[in-house]
Structure 1
Amino acid sequence: MHYRPMTINDYAAAVSLWQRTPGVRLRDADSFEGIMRYLARNPGLSIVAEKGSDIIGTIMAGHDGHRGFLQHLAVAEPYRKQGIGTALVNRCLDALRAESIDKAHLMLLVDNDAGKRFWTNLGWEFRTDIALHSFVLSANPSA
């Protein structure tokens, strides 16, 4: 298994993996241009796992200067439960620590039970003291 920073050249393979992964929802922000901006703003923080020339795992990470955010963790079905997801998470957290980020957050779809188990097993805390509010800045409801 080879882990490396994600580049925009990985876009097609990453989207294909995300589309096959339950619990990952793609929005218009996940367009080629959107991911290109995200990777440019957060260089070296998003990671892919490769087996041979195939991308079999992804995770994206970024930060706003004081909090980190993880998203789009996905591992191809035949490679799940082998520690690849955990390795991807740990690599992202190490990269965020190197940026002096002390805390990270993630968002899960409420019906993603497998995701809830995964993140709880890694020690992530489900928060009940905050609520997420969103505001769409464009006329696009899929923003």
Structure 2
Amino acid sequence: MDDLRIRAATPDDLDSVLAFWKVAAEGTSISDDRDGVERLLARDPGALLLAETGGDTAGTVIAGFDGWRCHLYRLAVHPGHRRRGVARALLAAAEERFTALGGRRADAMVLTGNESAHRAWEAAGYAAEERWRRWVKPLTDAAV
């Protein structure tokens, strides 16, 4: 995609990002609401990256760095833009961000049953880490 542009999201993007995730993202998250994304941008303003083409959102990724680990979430590409390099461009931008911040290794949250996502992550050089399992504890009653 020649006109693909990657940029950090701003608070003005929140409603469109949430609507985008309903179309393009697999599954939902407890933080998929305006308050959750506002907290993300307040805590780490450059973390939510948007891929845009022709003025429309083509993809997103959250590239969060806590000073210790580099975490990738919400890699999502609009169905009409898949298999055109959008995910690859988003991951390259995320990895550049991590490197600039001093990050050493990126990890990604990927749904176990999302086979098409597995192929995309593998194509980008990521591998499933079978030695660890994610453990979770909901901190609110609204947890999904």
2:42 counterpart residue number: 40
Does 127-136 or 41-50 show the bigger shift?
41-50
1:12 counterpart residue number: 15
Deviation at 1:138?
2.2
Deviation at 1:45?
2.7
Deviation at 1:139?
2.6
Describe the superposition over 1:7-55 as per-residue Cα deviations: whole angstroms up to 9, x where unpaired: 12112222222111252x2233121111011122112232111123211
8 Å CA contact retained: 2:7, 2:51 = yes
| 1:3 aligns to 2:6 (yes or no) | yes
Identity %: 28
2:31 counterpart residue number: 29
2:54 counterpart residue number: 52
Question: Secondary structure of the equivalent of 2:31?
Answer: helix
8 Å CA contact retained: 2:30, 2:143 = no
| 1:77 aligns to 2:79 (yes or no) | yes
Deviation at 1:135?
0.9
Let me know the Cα RMSD of the aligned residues: 1.4
8 Å CA contact retained: 1:56, 1:75 = yes
Count of matched residue positions in the alignment of Structure 1 and Structure 2: 141
- Structure 2 spans left out of the alignment, 5+ residues: none
Gap change, CA 1:60 and 1:51, over 3 Å in 2:
same
Gap change, CA 1:110 and 1:40, over 3 Å in 2:
same
Describe the superposition over 1:116-140 as per-residue Cα deviations: whole angstroms up to 9, x where unpaired: 1110111112111111110112233
With normalisation by structure 2, the TM-score equals 0.90
Aligned AA (2:50):
V
Deviation at 1:103?
0.9
Q: How does 1:100-115 map to 2 (within 5 A)?
A: 100-115=102-117
